[in-house]
């Protein structure tokens, strides 16, 4: 059975997407663990990792997502484990989750160093499990090169089966292959795939936004799966807004205050995908009714408009279980641009 440990040098490289794409493309049954969860979800006193929940859903894994991680914060891991006991726990967890599966996907922490002080960084995981290590590296071309060079020259990979590197989010794949790939090959870096940048993966849904902003959904809860492609801050007058080009962009989210009835009405009349109402300022009831009638979700949040905008800027768009089109696109990209046989999943 293959045990693939997916690691990254930096956050948001696309590890989970790679796991989903590889697993789908392989057509094999998979088990999954993410020993150090970092995208935690906490609800009704249950704690689990977003990625674990996604994989469990997409691949219909019977085990609960809560059981796929050992901890989510250094404090617990430091409190409960030492280097030996954490190793034992990881091995035990891997054995449980891979039983009866063709491949065990092991997702590392958000960066190469993450979890090192509690012995749960990706390199440690690869060593504990004797797994194949696969690095996912993404960013602009220069960052990708910096990271790969750094990895090659400064990271001690002794005792690790480094299967190779997959480069992600490349804006011009042909250029990358022609200009940089030969150089990397020359210094002995095994690049197993170059995946192009795909804008569709940068969109997130209203539901994801509502969860992340702790928003109260006032209306049209059934339309929370709508994707947001553009964000407009509703600070101008309602009448002025309708004349702005940004107000005509497709699938736009409007952020404005609950006392800005003019702006909310303008957003509703121009079919905004959703509206975030800031400052916990409940709009008048007739406006709420209008939004409900038009099927436009109103999300009520406590922070002010500026803070909400900042929070949204910091959000990373994640793959969601209820987006089969994105998963299909991802799978086809992996099939087309990644050497599956070299990884042993073909």
Residues that bind other proteins in the complex, under the rule CB under 8 A? 38, 40, 42, 45-47, 71-73, 75-76, 78-80, 214, 280, 282, 301-303
Residue with Cβ nearer other proteins (280 or 332): 280
In the complex with other proteins, the residue whose CB is nearer, 72 or 180, is: 72
User: What is the spatial distance between Cα 143 and Cα 158, in angstroms, rounded to a whole number?
Assistant: 24
Beta bridge partners of 250: none
Whose Cβ is closer to other proteins: residue 12's or residue 242's? 12
Q: Quote the distance between the C-alpha of residue 264 and its chain's center.
A: 31
At closest approach, how far in Å is the CB of 257 from other proteins? 14
Nearest approach in angstroms of CB 110 to other proteins is: 11
CA 216 to each of CA 25, 206, 254, 301: distance values in angstroms, whole numbers, following the listed order? 38, 12, 16, 6
Q: Which is nearer to other proteins, 202 or 280 (CB)?
A: 280
- The closest alpha carbon to 218, from 304, 299, 308, belongs to 299
| Helix residue spans in 28-82 (DSSP H) | 50-58, 74-80
> By C-beta, is 78 or 249 nearer to other proteins?
78
Tell me the closest approach of the beta carbon of residue 177 to other proteins, in angstroms: 36
**Please, are residues 278 and 301 in contact by the beta-carbon 8 Å criterion?**
yes
CA nearest neighbour of 136 among 319, 7, 2? 7
Smallest gap from Cβ 130 to other proteins, in A, equals 29
Q: Which is nearer to other proteins, 118 or 137 (CB)?
A: 118
- Smallest gap, in angstroms, from Cβ of residue 121 to other proteins? 17
330/324 Cα distance (integer angstroms):
10
Residue 72 Cβ vs other proteins, minimum distance, rounded to whole Å: 4
**Angstrom distance (rounded) from CA 24 to CA 224:** 26
d(CA 305, CA 312): 11
Rank residues 38 and 121 by Cβ distance to other proteins and give the closer one.
Answer: 38
- Non-local (6+) Cβ contacts of 322 within 8 A are 225
Helical axes 15-26 vs 50-58, angle rounded to 10°: 10
Closest approach, Cβ 28 to other proteins, in A, equals 32
């Amino acid at each position: 059975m293959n045990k693939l440990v997916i690691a990254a040098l930096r956050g948001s490289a696309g590890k989970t997407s790679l796991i989903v794409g590889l697993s789908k493309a392989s057509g094999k049954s998979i088990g999954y663990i993410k020993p150090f969860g970092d995208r935690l979800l906490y609800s009704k006193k249950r704690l689990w990792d977003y990625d674990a929940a996604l994989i469990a859903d997409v691949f219909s894994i019977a085990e609960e997502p809560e059981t796929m991680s050992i901890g989510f914060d250094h404090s617990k891991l430091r409190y409960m484990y030492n280097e030996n006991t954490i190793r034992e726990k990881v091995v035990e967890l891997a054995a449980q989750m891979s039983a009866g599966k063709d491949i065990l996907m092991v997702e590392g922490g958000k960066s190469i160093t993450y979890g090192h002080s509690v012995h749960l960084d990706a390199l440690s995981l690869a060593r504990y499990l004797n797994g194949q290590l696969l690095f996912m590296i993404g960013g602009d071309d220069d960052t990708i090169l910096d990271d790969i060079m750094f990895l090659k020259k400064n990271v001690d990979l002794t005792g690790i089966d480094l299967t190779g590197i997959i480069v992600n989010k490349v804006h011009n794949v042909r250029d990358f292959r022609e200009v940089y790939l030969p150089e990397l090959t020359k210094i002995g870096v095994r690049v197993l795939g170059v995946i192009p940048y795909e804008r569709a993966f940068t969109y997130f849904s209203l539901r994801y936004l509502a969860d992340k902003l702790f928003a109260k959904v006032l209306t049209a809860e059934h339309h929370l799966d709508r994707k947001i492609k553009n964000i407009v801050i509703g600070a101008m007058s309602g009448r002025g807004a309708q004349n702005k080009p940004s107000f005509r962009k497709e699938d736009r989210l409007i952020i404005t205050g609950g006392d800005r009835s003019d702006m909310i009405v303008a957003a509703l009349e121009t079919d905004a995908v959703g509206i975030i109402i800031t400052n916990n300022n409940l709009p008048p009831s007739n406006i709420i009714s209008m939004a409900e009638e038009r099927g436009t979700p109103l999300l009520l949040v406590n922070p002010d408009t500026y803070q909400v905008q900042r929070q949204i800027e910091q959000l990373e768009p994640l793959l969601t279980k209820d987006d089969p089109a994105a998963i299909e696109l991802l799978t086809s990209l992996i099939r087309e641009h990644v050497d599956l046989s070299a990884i042993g999943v073909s």
